[in-house]
């Protein structure tokens, strides 16, 4: 049971900053922020969950079974993440590459304290065991001072050199040309060792650059995720399932006429559209595994959307969940998301594992939440910084979709473009 109160906010933007800073006293924190980006599907502008009363942490073995049991037993709000390497739970796959971050493969917690921000109101929902703290906490948040911390700049290292990247993408193209795969997302890591950073300040700096609709700050003791993700992985609203893969990227221009021309060219670019359509087909297939017969459809194909840094092509695939399946089943049968793997999915993941040099971990996984009635919403962990405070290891990865039309040098340049925001925040 939770006790809820609603307050009107004079300055919602300031309140979000104060709330996030106030929350750092707790071991577990998850903050999700739409940055006022108007989406077709959303429940609130921002949500913060803090202070676990229960949690589940596991490696990939039986991970989805453990999560489903936890969700079915708790039937409360749950917040947490799914790492990319949960693929090893659902398929005969392995993750043997280097891992400097050492995050658990899966972590979810049931928060004592919840804040839902929508427009100029905040609903605060505390478990009854701590609801006597509710009003005092609200006053404390409003009096929290916002200060900035300046970290020492880091030296960022690149795990794969340009020459090695071109060699590896050329090998991936060989796989495509002989028919092993049609498309695969190939990623590389940037990292810093002996790194000491202020995670909250770095998150705010990263978020300010692009103000994306699926930003996330996640803290589990010494493990941090600072995410400026533009992409939704999957959402459940009652029996409706929504997946919105992004594939296709173009730069922005400061000249409005040129900017609109770039956006229009993106919608007509054969390579970018084919990347998107291949993943849409994959998502349709994934959703069909738990869908009511004939309910899978494409609501929007290759819609062009504008963000502060780039234009993207986004498609929306929907289905109706068959009543024989539990909420977690839809995630299990569609994970990892097609936009971060490739097609056919299993072959792509095998080739990715052989050519990449880093265990992806939480990168290209998902962060989100479950509601008490089993609805959920998860992003795709891209454009994100990961930090292990104990190991003093900072990491971010970027990738691009390799298809038969790919030119390795251009894919490398796309990766550097995607890395720019994280690099500038850390350096």
**Range in 47-61, 145-159, 387-401 the model is least confident about:** 145-159
pLDDT in tens, 75-119: 999 999 999 999 999 899 999 999 999 999 999 999 999 999 999
pLDDT surpassing 90 at residue 147: no
What three-state secondary structure class fits 7?
A: strand
Tell me: the pLDDT tens digits for 10-45?
999 999 999 999 999 999 999 999 999 987 899 999
What does the pLDDT average to over 299-317?
95
- Count of CA atoms in the C-beta half-sphere (13 A) of 303: 13
Q: Which residue has the tokens 């993440």?
A: 81
Q: Of residues 30, 183, 189, 231, which has the active-site annotation?
A: 231
Q: Which domains does the chain have, with CATH numbers?
A: 2-426 (3.60.120.10)
**Which member of 113, 219, 247, 418 is catalytic?**
247
Find tokens 């979810």 and name the residue: 108
| Tens of pLDDT, residues 56-87 | 999 999 999 999 999 999 999 999 999 999 99
Rounded to 10 degrees, what is the CA torsion of 147, 4, 212, 272?
A: 160
Quick one: pLDDT band at residue 185, thresholds 50, 70, 90?
A: very high
pLDDT of residue 294: 97
Q: What is the per-residue pLDDT for 309? A: 86
Q: Is the pLDDT of residue 238 over 90?
A: yes
Q: What is the pLDDT of residue 281?
A: 96
pLDDT of residue 152 exceeding 90 = no
- Under a CB-based contact definition with an 8 Å cutoff, are residues 210 and 230 in contact? yes
Residue 354: predicted pLDDT = 96
Range in 185-189, 248-252, 300-304 with the lowest mean pLDDT: 248-252
**pLDDT at res. 79:** 98
Q: If you average pLDDT over every residue of the chain, what do you get?
A: 96
To the query of whether residue 171 is one of the catalytic residues in this protein, the response is no
Please confirm, yes or no, whether 247 is among the known catalytic residues. Answer: yes
Distances (CA, A) of 197 to 29, 57, 224, 409, 426: 18, 25, 11, 32, 8
Q: What percent of the chain has a predicted confidence (pLDDT) above 90?
A: 95
Burial 123-159 (b: 16+ CB within 10 A, else e): ebbbbeeebeeeeebbeebbebeeeeeeeeebebebb
Pick from 33-42, 236-245, 328-337: least confident = 33-42
Q: What is the predicted pLDDT for the residue at 110?
A: 98
Are 315 and 231 spatial neighbours (Cβ–Cβ below 8 Å)? no
């Amino acid at each position: 049971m939770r006790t809820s109160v609603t307050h009107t906010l004079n300055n919602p933007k300031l309140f979000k900053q104060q709330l996030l800073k106030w929350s750092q006293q707790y071991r577990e924190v998850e903050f999700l922020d739409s940055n006022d980006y108007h989406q077709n599907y959303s429940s609130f502008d921002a949500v913060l969950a803090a202070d676990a009363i229960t949690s589940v942490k596991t490696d990939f073995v039986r991970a989805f079974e453990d999560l489903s049991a936890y969700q079915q037993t708790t039937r409360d709000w749950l917040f947490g993440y799914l790492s990319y390497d949960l693929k090893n739970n659902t398929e005969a796959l392995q993750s043997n590459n280097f891992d400097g971050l050492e995050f658990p493969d899966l972590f979810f917690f049931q928060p004592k304290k919840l804040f839902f921000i929508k427009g100029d109101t905040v609903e605060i929902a505390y478990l009854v065991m701590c609801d006597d703290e509710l009003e005092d906490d609200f006053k404390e948040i409003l009096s929290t001072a916002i200060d900035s911390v300046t970290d020492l700049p880091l030296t960022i290292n690149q795990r794969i050199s340009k020459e090695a990247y071109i060699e590896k993408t050329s090998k991936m193209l060989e796989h495509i040309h002989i028919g092993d795969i049609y498309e695969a997302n190939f990623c590389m890591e940037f990292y810093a060792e002996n790194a000491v950073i202020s995670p909250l300040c770095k998150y705010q700096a990263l978020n300010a650059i692009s103000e994306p609709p699926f930003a996330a700050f996640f803290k589990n003791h010494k493990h941090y995720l600072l995410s400026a993700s533009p992409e939704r992985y999957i959402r459940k609203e009652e029996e409706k399932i929504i997946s919105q893969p992004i594939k296709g990227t173009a730069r922005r221009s400061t000249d409005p006429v040129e900017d609109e021309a770039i956006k229009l060219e993106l919608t007509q670019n054969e390579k970018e559209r084919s990347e998107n359509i291949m993943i849409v087909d994959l998502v349709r297939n994934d959703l069909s595994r738990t869908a009511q017969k004939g309910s899978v459809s494409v609501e929007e194909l290759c819609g062009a959307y504008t963000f502060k840094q780039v234009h993207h092509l986004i498609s929306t695939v929907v289905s109706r969940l068959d009543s024989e399946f539990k909420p977690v089943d839809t995630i299990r049968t569609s994970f990892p998301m097609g936009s971060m793997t490739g097609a056919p999915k299993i072959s792509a993941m095998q080739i990715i594992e052989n050519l990449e040099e880093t265990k992806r971990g939480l990168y290209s996984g998902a962060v989100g939440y479950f509601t008490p009635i089993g609805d959920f919403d998860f992003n795709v962990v891209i454009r994100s910084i990961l930090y292990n405070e104990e190991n003093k290891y900072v990491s971010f990865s970027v990738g691009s979709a390799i298809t038969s039309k790919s030119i390795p040098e251009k894919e490398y340049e796309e990766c550097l473009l995607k890395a720019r925001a994280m690099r500038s925040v850390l350096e």
